[in-house]
Amino acid sequence: MQAARSSCIVLGVVGRFSYLELRIMPRSPSIIPDSTNRDVYLVLDDFGSLGRVWPETDEAGTNRVWMIRSLLEGQYVNPVRIVAFNIAEGWSRDVTLDIADELRRRYVEYDEVPASILKFLETASRH
């Protein structure tokens, strides 16, 4: 991501001479993704007595495909909730059951499924 730039005009006087200077200064990059018109998925992970956290992830790791792959590869200790949102469209929702259904369909592709996912699938049911 390229940082945005801002400019300012500086007026100054040195001795008998005055000057005008245009300075271009870098601005800190925004924490809002460049492409806000996309769905973002976040996993709430439960660390037991240490508490629950929304683990830090890079922008690429917040899409649905990457998140499901991370779940199936055991990247989460004890996933308990999954939320999705889209800033541009102005919505957010709990997608835990939808993701659990997709994991049930896809985990047959893997030789081993992490115990954390089996527990997640057991607790995330539609009944």
In tens, the pLDDT along 70-125 reads 999 899 999 999 999 998 899 999 999 999 999 988 878 877 889 999 999 999 87
Give the torsion sign (CA, 96, 102, 107, 109): negative
Query: Is there a domain that residue 12 lies in?
Result: no
Closest CA to 106 of 53, 77, 69: 69
**In whole angstroms, what is the distance from residue 76 CA to residue 73 CA?**
8
**Residue appearing with tokens 């081993």:** 112
Domain count, the chain: 1
How far apart (Å, rounded) are the C-alpha atoms in residues 45 and 42?
Answer: 10
Residue 21 lies in a domain: no
Domain residues for 111? 40-123
Rounded to the nearest integer, the mean pLDDT of the chain is 82
pLDDT given for residue 126 in this prediction: 62
Q: Is residue 51 part of a domain?
A: yes
Position 21 confidence tier, pLDDT thresholds 50, 70, 90 = low
3-6 CB contacts, 8 Å cutoff, 24+ apart: 3/27, 3/28, 3/29, 4/29, 4/30
Whether residue 97 is contained in a domain is answered as yes
Q: Classify residue 56: in a domain, yes or no.
A: yes
CA 92 to chain centre: 13
- Is 54 domain-assigned? yes
The Cα–Cα gap between 83 and 94 comes to 4
| pLDDT value of residue 19 | 61
Residue 28 included in any domain: no
Tell me if 98 is assigned to some domain.
yes
